């Protein structure tokens, strides 16, 4: 399990964060200069150079969003201009994309961050520009919400696999519905039926909490407190749940750690968001206390599982049930080894999960549970400290990636195995690099006593 550093403070990471942003600028500039954008979205590196491969264009918002975060962290205006220009040039199709569950990734990372900077007065207020960003978020949220599968106790936004498929990933993209709702928008269906996007978003969150997260309550023989299933499969004829499954993990009965990390971060963010809402608006869904309870239970359980089932330095292997982990011996009692001969680690899961740990810790401390909150907070800082140093931070100027040892799709064998290695390692991903930047910005703002960073800071 993670050896939580109880002494480290956010300010102790200041010099490491300064180095991180310097390297980040170099990587963004290298991709801008060298990557042929007409090939599609950069997804992951192969021998240190970004390449494109995947099911959908789900990483494009992370590419341009990285430039926007770079400006936010450093004030370097050239990165803001790059982010704005590329958002305008390339992101419009993502607003109306009916075929994916990734709106909260692509569009909050670009239009959402730009609107947030304007609301936070970090860039000049321009009314037409503000309206442009708001309209993009409104429409994106409604389009995402239209991918809807009803089930007996609610419903969920289905994955690109089809109406039977609930992905745990989508708990972090559900935030686009929350923004759209808070900006005053609704989804209109047949016969002008108006759909409350907050209610739909909470229904999706509840389905994810109920079916994607496990609580040690005996659902199956592999039911452990906080483990997650990547995919939950439903019978679309009657709305009944059928079984767990996995697309990028090893099995439906083990835990793909990036999916676990999406749950950690997504549920913690939603806890923070509902605190900003009135009881009246929440009652459109149901009892506000019950909403808080299921979000908190899912966030706590998933964070607990991560702490318990991750090596001492906070970097997880790609799946807790990966078939060759046993060959590593007692791997949970020592730091992760990205260069081992048997199973890859996934640093992108660490970058996403660390933000979930920090947000849950902050939320609990803010709400009076100092002891428990401090545990999650210190765990998050422990993970970040590891990521800000080699072998995870990429210091090679010839490598376009920022965060090394990220894994995309181990079962499909999509990740590069470098010469001389037996497993995929030493490569980066666009989502891993973006979430490392988001994590770094979150902590930097804490150090600088700047505005607390949330996705809903874009709401005026």
Task: Give 271's contacts (C-beta < 8 A, 6+ positions apart).
Answer: 292, 295, 296, 299, 359, 360, 363
Residue 39 CB neighbours (<10 A): 10
Listed by start position, the domains of the chain span 10-57+148-453
Q: What is the DSSP letter of 11?
A: G
Pairwise CA distance, residues 304 & 37, whole Å: 40
User: What was the pLDDT predicted at 39?
Assistant: 86
pLDDT in tens, 36-90: 988 889 999 999 999 998 678 899 999 999 999 999 999 999 999 999 999 999 9
pLDDT in tens, 16-42: 999 999 999 999 999 999 999 888 899
- Tell me the residue ranges of DSSP E strands in 47-142: 49-51
Pairwise CA distance, residues 245 & 233, whole Å: 7
pLDDT in tens, 285-314: 999 999 999 999 999 999 999 999 999 999
Tokens of 224: 């452990």
Give the SS3 label for residue 78: helix
User: What was the pLDDT predicted at 54?
Assistant: 67
User: For residue 257, what are the CA distances in angstroms to 121, 249, 305, 322, 415?
Assistant: 37, 8, 10, 10, 16
Using 50 as the pLDDT threshold, list the residues of the chain that sit under it: none
User: What was the pLDDT predicted at 53?
Assistant: 82
Pairwise CA distance, residues 388 & 354, whole Å: 12
Q: Which residues pair with 155 in a beta bridge?
A: 150
User: What was the pLDDT predicted at 57?
Assistant: 86
- In CATH terms, the fold of domain 10-57+148-453 is Glycosyltransferase (1.50.10)
């Amino acid at each position: 399990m993670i050896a939580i550093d109880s002494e480290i403070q956010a300010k102790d990471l200041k010099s490491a964060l300064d180095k991180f942003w310097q390297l980040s600028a170099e990587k963004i500039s290298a991709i801008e200069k060298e990557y042929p954008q007409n090939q599609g979205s950069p997804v992951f590196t192969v021998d240190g150079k970004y390449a494109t491969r995947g099911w959908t264009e789900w990483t494009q918002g992370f590419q341009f969003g990285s430039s926007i975060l770079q400006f936010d962290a450093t004030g370097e205006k050239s990165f803001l201009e790059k982010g704005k220009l590329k958002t305008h040039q390339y992101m419009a199709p993502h607003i109306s994309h009916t075929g994916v569950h990734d709106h909260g990734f692509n569009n909050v990372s670009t239009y959402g961050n730009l609107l947030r900077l304007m609301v936070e007065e970090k860039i000049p207020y321009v009314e037409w520009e503000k309206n442009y960003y708001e309209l993009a978020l409104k429409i994106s949220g409604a389009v995402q919400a239209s991918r809807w599968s009803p089930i007996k106790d609610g419903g969920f936004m289905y994955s690109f696999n089809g109406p039977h498929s609930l992905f745990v990933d989508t708990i972090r993209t559900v935030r686009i519905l929350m923004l759209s709702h808070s900006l005053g928008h609704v989804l209109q269906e047949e016969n002008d039926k108006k759909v409350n996007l907050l209610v739909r978003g909470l229904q999706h969150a509840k389905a994810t909490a109920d079916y994607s997260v496990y609580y040690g309550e005996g659902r199956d023989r592999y039911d452990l407190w906080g483990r997650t299933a990547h995919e939950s499969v439903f019978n679309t004829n009657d709305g009944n749940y059928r079984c767990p499954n996995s697309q990028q993990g090893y099995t439906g009965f083990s835990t793909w750690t990036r999916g676990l990390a999406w749950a950690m971060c997504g549920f913690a963010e939603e806890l923070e968001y509902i605190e900003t809402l009135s009881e009246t608006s929440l009652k459109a869904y149901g009892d506000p206390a019950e909403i808080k309870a299921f979000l908190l239970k899912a966030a706590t359980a998933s964070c607990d599982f991560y702490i318990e089932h991750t090596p001492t330095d906070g970097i997880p292997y790609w799946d807790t049930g990966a078939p060759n982990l046993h060959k590593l011996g007692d791997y949970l009692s020592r730091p992760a080894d990205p260069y081992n001969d048997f199973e890859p680690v996934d640093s992108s899961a660490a970058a996403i999960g660390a933000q979930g740990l920090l947000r849950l810790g902050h939320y609990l401390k803010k709400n009076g549970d100092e002891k428990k909150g401090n545990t999650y907070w210190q765990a998050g800082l422990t993970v970040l400290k590891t990521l800000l140093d080699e072998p995870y931070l990429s210091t090679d100027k010839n490598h376009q990636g920022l965060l090394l040892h990220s894994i995309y799709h181990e079962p499909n064998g999509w990740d590069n195995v470098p010469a001389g290695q037996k497993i995929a390692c030493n490569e980066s991903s666009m989502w891993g690099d973006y979430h490392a930047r988001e994590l770094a910005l979150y902590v930097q703002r804490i150090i600088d006593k700047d505005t607390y960073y949330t996705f809903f800071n874009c709401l005026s």
